[in-house]
């Protein structure tokens, strides 16, 4: 007798775009760190910025809630020692609370008056550069819809510095590939210069 071990879906992280040559990819800030600010096009959204902070060898994430629009200035980080921004997603760190609105989100170093834009998602996109989901120990199905996407379910380092997945350190998901994975640390996803789209199903457990 055949037994099917079906898994119960907890939620789905809907289609998001990562990477792309039109998105800012200036990730290195001051050697001892800088503050960052997030500018939202509308109120009521959540965005999660992923990067590194001075003196730490672990990946760091901070969630920002849009209490004001870009016309009123950005939302400042609680920390002033960011050494890199590896990307952001317009949802929380677990892939929940995504927006259905087409809205631009920008991350700036130092302040919104600074000309250094370290991460940007255009209207209609909900991620930029690297997307990172804190899904430690969770079972997931990853489906790369289009583009070349470098995906890993563990944190990556260059020496002691956390870095994004790429062709030299991660598995390349080409268009149409789907894979069941158990996440060890974070689910990290970053497309090449042509960009990529991915969706993720997260299971209970």
Spatial separation of the C-alpha atoms in residues 8 and 89, rounded to whole Å: 25
Q: How many CA atoms lie within 13 A of 146 on its CB side?
A: 8
Digit-by-digit pLDDT tens for the chain (205 residues) are: 555 678 899 999 999 988 876 555 555 687 888 999 898 888 888 999 999 999 999 999 999 988 755 555 688 899 999 999 999 999 999 999 988 787 888 898 875 555 688 888 888 788 888 999 999 999 999 999 999 999 999 999 999 989 999 999 999 999 999 999 999 999 999 998 888 999 999 999 8
Contacts of residue 189, Cβ cutoff 8 Å, sequence gap at least 6: 18, 130, 131, 132, 142, 149, 150, 151, 165, 196, 198
Spatial separation of the C-alpha atoms in residues 199 and 205, rounded to whole Å: 19
Q: Three-state SS for 71? A: helix
Cβ atoms within 10 Å, residue 38: 25
User: Do the bridges between strand 60-65 and strand 105-109 make them parallel or antiparallel, or are there none, so unpaired?
Assistant: unpaired
Tens of pLDDT along 128-166?
A: 889 999 999 999 999 999 999 999 999 999 999 899 999
Query: Global pTM?
Result: 0.91
Question: Which residue in this structure is represented by tokens 């989901």?
Answer: 133
């Amino acid at each position: 007798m055949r037994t099917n071990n079906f898994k119960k879906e907890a939620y789905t992280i809907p289609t998001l775009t990562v990477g792309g040559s039109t998105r800012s990819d200036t990730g290195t800030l001051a050697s001892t760190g800088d503050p960052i600010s997030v500018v939202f096009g509308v109120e009521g959204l959540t965005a999660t910025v992923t990067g590194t902070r001075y003196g730490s060898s672990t990946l760091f994430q901070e969630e920002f809630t849009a209490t004001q629009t870009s016309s009123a200035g950005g939302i400042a980080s609680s920390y002033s020692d960011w050494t890199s921004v590896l990307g952001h997603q317009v949802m929380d760190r677990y892939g929940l609370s995504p927006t259905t609105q087409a809205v631009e989100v920008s991350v700036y170093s130092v302040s919104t008056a600074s000309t250094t834009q370290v991460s940007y998602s255009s209207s209609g996109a909900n991620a930029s550069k690297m997307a990172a989901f804190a899904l430690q120990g969770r079972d997931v199905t990853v489906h790369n819809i289009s583009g070349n996407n470098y995906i890993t379910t563990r944190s990556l380092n260059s020496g002691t510095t956390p870095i994004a997945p790429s062709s030299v350190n991660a598995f390349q998901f080409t268009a149409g590939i789907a894979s069941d994975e158990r996440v060890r640390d974070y689910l990290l996803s970053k497309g090449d210069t042509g960009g990529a789209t991915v969706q993720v199903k997260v299971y209970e457990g």
